[in-house]
Amino acid sequence: MLQALGYGFLDENGNQIPCGAKGLEMLKSITDADVLPELADCEFKIACDVTNRLCGEAGCSAVYGPQKGATPEMIRQMDQWLDAYASLARRSYPKADPDRPGTGAAGGLGFAFLTFTNAVLESGIQIVLEETQLKDYVKDADIVITGEGRLDGQTAMGKAPVGVAQLAKKYKVPVIAFAGSVTEDAAECNKNGIDAFFPILRRITTLAEAMEPERAKRNLADTAEQVFRLLAVKESRCITLHP
């Protein structure tokens, strides 16, 4: 992103390093001689729903690397490269602060925006909630349904499903979440407004099969039907017991 804006991320020979994390292994200097002049007049409001720092145990490599297929050795290397990049940036750009919450967002884009542009990080879900006026739809709802591709501990750190759930709780509306898959630490979501969550996979399958649009649509519909059959039974019994 920064190279596209004109920043030079150069190797020892003064050439632009390759794109991606691998290129950072070769990074020796950062220049701004060719930065787009219009950039100085731009202000950015960055939608950011995570608090991860750039490096470390909760940094972007350690948290997001495994989701993208990185091995432990790759994660260790990327974390080192990012740390060296941050140290290099700090020499010339006083705003560089890799320990600031949110700098690890989107693989380090949070750090890039805060360090090299006139940017602020704001809760993405709050921006969406305000722009869509979702509260007007939620406040009179009987139940709120939300979801995510994978529900995990990161979801509980302020991502969209939890933002929706916390809004619903202001109006005492129950919240159900559906997800392609869930992890053990997804239980944190129950502490943050999601009353119950359900993975939609119906059988053992490959990732490629699970991602097929028609299959995913059918899995979601089938799982939702069974959940709401249970709710319908519960409602019916409540009416019977309390006529």
- pLDDT per residue as tens digits for the range 107-158: 999 999 999 999 999 988 888 888 899 999 999 999 999 999 999 887 887 7
Residue 239, pLDDT > 70, answer no
Residue 236, pLDDT > 70, answer no
Choose between 231 and 8: higher pLDDT. Answer: 8
DSSP helix/strand/coil, 16: strand
Global model pTM greater than 0.75: no
Phi-psi region of 133 (alpha: psi -120 to 50; beta: other; left: phi over 0): left
Of 57-71, 83-97, 212-226, the poorest mean pLDDT is in 57-71
Strands (E), the chain: 8-10, 29-31, 44-47, 119-122, 144-151, 175-182, 196-199
Percent with pLDDT over 70 in the chain:
96
- Could you report the per-residue pLDDT of 158-188, keeping only the tens digit for each? 788 998 999 999 999 999 999 999 999 899 9
pLDDT of residue 235: 64
- Residue 121 pairs with which residues in a beta bridge? 46
Cα-based distances in Å from 219 to 65, 126, 155: 27, 30, 21
pLDDT of residue 238: 47
Radius of gyration of the chain, Cα coordinates, nearest whole angstrom: 22
Residue closest to 196 by CA, chosen among 219, 220, 165: 165
CB distance 81 to 88 below 8 Å: no
Instruction: Please name each of the domains of the chain with its CATH number.
Output: 8-122 (3.90.1510.10), 125-241 (3.40.50)
